């Protein structure tokens, strides 16, 4: 009888672990960018997201012509190195009642797909949309978005790890 209880306890533990594991999400993208490319990172408010970005700029005669432009207009010239790496962390802002479903230019978030990264070669539509949206009002208040633009030629490798808590 003791063994039966032990087995039952183990089965409950395994079931809980499977539920916890199903709350983890990962994404990966490896894109060659040229000209001006915008990388849009988005997530549902209830999710925690960590994105590792690895930019490999095209190097000509020991020089790189790749620039990273941030939303506030500041920019940084990527040095002529093999890998230029940085991380973006969008922490969870806590659970929210109701479901999340937003599908628009550069953003694709739902309850089953709470983290998203997209690279847009033509970012005009996204940037116009981004500046016109009221991010404090629903439904956009249920997501977080971060973006940056890569100007020049480079290979952009993105690894994202998210959890629904």
Instruction: Provide the binding-site residues for other proteins, judged by CB under 8 A.
Output: 3-4, 6-7, 10-11, 13-14, 17-18, 20-21, 24, 26, 28, 48, 50, 52, 87, 159, 161-163
CA dihedral 95, 160, 158, 104 (to 10 degrees): -30
In angstroms, the CA 83 to CA 85 distance is: 6
Q: Which is nearer to other proteins, 116 or 126 (CB)?
A: 116
Q: Which is nearer to other proteins, 69 or 155 (CB)?
A: 155
Q: At its nearest, how many Å lie between other proteins and the CB of residue 74?
A: 24
Q: At its nearest, how many Å lie between other proteins and the CB of residue 9?
A: 10
Measured CA distances, 26 to 31, 72, 73, 118, 161 (Å): 17, 28, 29, 14, 4
Q: Which is nearer to other proteins, 35 or 91 (CB)?
A: 91
Residue 17: phi, psi to the nearest 5? -65, -40
Q: At its nearest, how many Å lie between other proteins and the CB of residue 87?
A: 6
């Amino acid at each position: 009888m003791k063994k039966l209880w032990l087995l039952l306890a183990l089965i409950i533990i395994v079931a809980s672990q499977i539920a916890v594991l199903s709350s983890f999400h990962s994404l990966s993208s490896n894109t060659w960018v040229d000209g001006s490319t915008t990388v849009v990172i988005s997530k549902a408010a209830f999710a925690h997201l960590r994105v590792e970005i690895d930019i490999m700029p095209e190097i000509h005669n020991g020089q790189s012509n790749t620039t990273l432009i941030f939303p506030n207009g500041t920019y940084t010239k990527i040095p002529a190195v093999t890998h230029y790496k940085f991380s973006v962390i969008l922490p969870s802002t806590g659970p929210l009642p109701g479901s999340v479903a937003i599908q628009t230019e550069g953003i694709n978030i739902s309850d089953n797909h709470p983290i998203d990264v997209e690279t847009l070669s033509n970012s005009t539509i996204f940037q116009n949309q981004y500046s016109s949206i009221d991010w404090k009002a629903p439904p956009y208040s249920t997501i977080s978005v971060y973006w940056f633009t890569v100007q020049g030629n480079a290979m952009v490798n993105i690894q994202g790890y998210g959890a629904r808590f």
